[in-house]
Amino acid sequence: MKLNNILRIIQNQPFCSHVNDLYTEFNLMPLDHLHTQQLLVLVFKYLYYNQLVPSIFHSYFVHNHDIHNYATRTRSDLHIFVPNSSFGKRKIKYKCSVLWNSLPDHLKSLAYCKII
């Protein structure tokens, strides 16, 4: 990864230095974690601050209780449309739904957080 090499040069670290140490030194989040965070922010804005989300996303996610009327434990989770291929698992709809549903309930219910 080019960013890792740039961090090594800036910090004057050897090529074999651990990547987590490079990010920790500058108080940075690794790119995969940053990507996950941004996906979760998208879902949070969609659910609680829909006016902040571009109009293309206004009907992007569906709750399970909109699909069926059964009283299940996952009734309030986002519905996961199972993809037919590995390419489908990389789609934003699928990744966001899986990530959001994997959060603990107390984090999903933070409806009154301030969005900057």
- CA 15 from chain center: how many Å? 30
Three-class DSSP category at 32 = helix
Three-class DSSP category at 78 = strand
Q: What is the mean pLDDT of residues 22-40?
A: 88
Lowest mean pLDDT among 2-11, 40-49, 107-116: 107-116
Where is pLDDT greater, at 49 or 115? 49
CA–CA dist 13, 41 (Å, integer): 33
Sketch the domain layout of the chain as residue ranges: 30-108
Query: What pLDDT does residue 2 have?
Result: 83
CA distance to 23, 43, 48, 81, 110, per residue, from 87 (Å): 30, 21, 29, 13, 32
